[in-house]
């Protein structure tokens, strides 16, 4: 990465920006399997990682790739994988294992159309609910969704920071449009984006409990081989890491897994709000769809229509309070998605029952156009 004296603009795709940001975050291990439309992330890292002394592995499948990432992270690596819809499905059991064992790692999912192999080369926002509930059981989920290449870079750094602080998998969830979009990005960034790398403790080995259920943040996960011996298991376990069938302990642990994310919402909750102060219609859009929604909002404003935009950058945990505040004066909230209704149901759950929720969905592999949203706004006003 260049020094601040050599800051220069680069033309990068979203996928390339992920790879560059991962290296900036201190990535030392990547395991993956080629899958459209995320393959450029692996291709770029296959060149960059070996040059820095890191490890790049193309595994036999997505299940092995995610499992390798978990193992590498426990051994002290800063680890990541990248995939798309079908591969994301295959990774779910190991993602659940990482949630249960509180292992920090980053999972990039460049969304495409589905179900099954679906539309491999075309855009969709089809994995939003899979990101939240793809693995079984009660578990925490953190998912970030960029709308532009520069934001993709920043959110990748943010994902690594959150995964280390919260000791949980963090998902970078972007659609194919953003992954393959080419835009100008100034590197290095003018502002420093911190990335936590605390894997040490002052406690002696006999007092170290890697799975403490109290505090604001979990204790650091000291890597294997550093003089600290502890047990790692996908079974519900006590604070030492050893399996426990105690119902009281199970309750404590599961509540902790959820609480450590919920009580740190201030670290991750990000949303952009435009024109909501007087909006009668509030558009709700994320990823590439938000770019079109912003264009439609500006066109509506030029006609004198009071239209605003709420864009969640953090998708999970869902920004309930932020949306309630933004929609306070609106009569209609319009979720806009490249699927047949995923976050729209979260919007319906959150906003006041007196407000109309009028979703606009588009599937079929083509982006949502600003003109289509404008027509939907006109339809609401009739």
pLDDT at 1 over 80: no
For residues 289 and 198, state if they share a domain: no
**Between β-strands 55-58 and 307-312, what pairing exists: parallel, antiparallel or unpaired?**
unpaired
Q: Average pLDDT for residues 48-57, to the nearest whole number? A: 97
Number of domains in the chain: 2
Q: What is the pLDDT of residues 319-348, one digit of tens each?
A: 999 999 999 999 999 999 999 999 999 999
Do 66 and 3 share a domain, yes or no?
A: yes
- The verdict on 93 and 216 lying in the same domain is yes
Q: What is the pLDDT of residue 5?
A: 54
Kindly report the length of the chain: 382
Whether the pLDDT of residue 4 is over 80: the answer is: no
> In this structure, are 318 and 286 located in the same domain?
yes
Q: Given this model, what pLDDT does residue 2 score?
A: 42
Between CA 123 and CA 339 the distance in angstroms is 10
- The pLDDT of 358-380, averaged and rounded, is 96
> Average pLDDT for residues 336-365, to the nearest whole number?
95
**Secondary structure (3-state) at 166:** helix
Q: How many whole angstroms separate alpha carbon 64 and alpha carbon 66? A: 6
Of 249, 268, 287, the last residue of a domain is 268
What percent of the chain has a predicted confidence (pLDDT) above 90?
A: 89
As a whole number, the mean pLDDT across the chain is 94
Three-class DSSP category at 59: coil
Which segment of 57-66, 194-203, 313-322, 356-365 scores lowest on mean pLDDT?
A: 194-203
φ, ψ for residue 123 (rounded to 5)?
-80, 155
Residue 329 belongs to domain spanning: 271-381
pTM score of the predicted model: 0.95
Residue 206 tokens read as: 């006999």
Distance between first and last Cα of the chain: 54
pLDDT band at 191 (very low <50, low <70, confident <90, very high): confident
Task: Tell me, yes or no, whether 261 and 326 share the same domain.
Answer: no
Q: For residues 111 and 120, what is the distance between their CA atoms, to the nearest angstrom?
A: 9
User: Which of the 8 DSSP states describes residue 338?
Assistant: S
Whether residues 55 and 146 share a domain: the answer is: yes
């Amino acid at each position: 990465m260049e020094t601040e004296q050599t800051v220069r603009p680069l033309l990068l795709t979203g996928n390339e920006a992920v790879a560059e940001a991962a290296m900036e975050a201190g990535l030392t291990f990547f395991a993956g399997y080629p899958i459209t439309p995320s393959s450029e992330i692996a291709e770029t890292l296959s060149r960059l990682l070996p040059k820095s002394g890191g490890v790049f592995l193309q595994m036999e499948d997505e299940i092995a790739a995610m499992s390798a990432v978990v193992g590498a992270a426990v051994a002290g690596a800063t680890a990541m994988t990248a995939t798309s819809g079908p591969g994301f499905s295959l990774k779910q059991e190991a993602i659940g294992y990482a949630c249960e064992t509180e292992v920090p790692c980053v999972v990039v999912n460049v969304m495409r159309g589905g179900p099954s192999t679906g539309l491999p080369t075309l855009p969709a926002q089809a994995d939003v609910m899979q990101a939240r509930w793809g693995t079984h059981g009660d578990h925490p989920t953190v998912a970030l969704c960029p709308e532009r290449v520069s934001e993709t870079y920043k959110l990748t750094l943010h994902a690594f920071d959150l995964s280390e602080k919260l000791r949980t998998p963090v998902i970078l969830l972007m659609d194919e449009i953003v992954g393959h979009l080419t835009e100008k990005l100034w590197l290095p960034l003018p502002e420093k984006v911190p990335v936590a790398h605390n894997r040490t403790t002052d406690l002696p080995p006999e007092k170290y409990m890697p799975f403490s259920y109290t505090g604001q943040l979990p204790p650091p996960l000291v890597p294997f081989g550093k003089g600290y011996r502890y047990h790692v298991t996908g079974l519900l376990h006590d604070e030492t890491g050893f399996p426990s069938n105690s119902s009281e302990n199970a309750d404590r642990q599961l509540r902790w897994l959820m609480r450590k994310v919920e009580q740190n919402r201030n670290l991750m909750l990000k949303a952009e709000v435009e024109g909501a102060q007087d909006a009668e219609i509030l558009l709700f859009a994320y990823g590439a769809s938000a770019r079109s929604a912003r264009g439609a909002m500006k066109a509506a404003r030029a006609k004198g229509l009071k239209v605003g935009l709420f864009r969640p950058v953090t998708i999970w945990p869902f920004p309930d309070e932020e949306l309630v505040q933004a929609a306070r004066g609106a009569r209609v909230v319009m979720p806009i998605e490249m699927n047949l209704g995923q976050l729209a149901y979260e919007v319906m759950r959150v906003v006041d029952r007196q407000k109309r929720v009028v979703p606009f969905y588009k599937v079929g592999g083509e982006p949502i156009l600003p003109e289509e949203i404008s027509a939907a706004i006109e339809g609401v006003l009739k």
